[in-house]
Amino acid sequence: MTDHPLNTKGLQCPLPVLRARKAIKAIAIGDTLTVEATDPGARKDFPAFCEATGNRLLSVVEEEGILRFVIERAA
pTM of the model: 0.95
Candidates 67, 66, 22; CA nearest to 44 is 67
Q: How many domains does the chain have?
A: 1
Amino acid symbol at 18: L
CATH number of the domain to which 49 belongs: 3.30.110.40
Candidates 31, 45, 33, 36; CA nearest to 67 is 36
pLDDT (0 to 100) of residue 75: 75
Catalytic, 50? Answer no
Q: Indicate which residue of 4, 7, 11, 13 is catalytic.
A: 13
Stretches where the chain sits below pLDDT 50 are: none
User: Containing domain of residue 38, as a range?
Assistant: 3-73
Task: Tell me how far CA of residue 43 lies from CA of 3, 28, 29, 30, 46, in angstroms.
Answer: 20, 25, 24, 23, 6
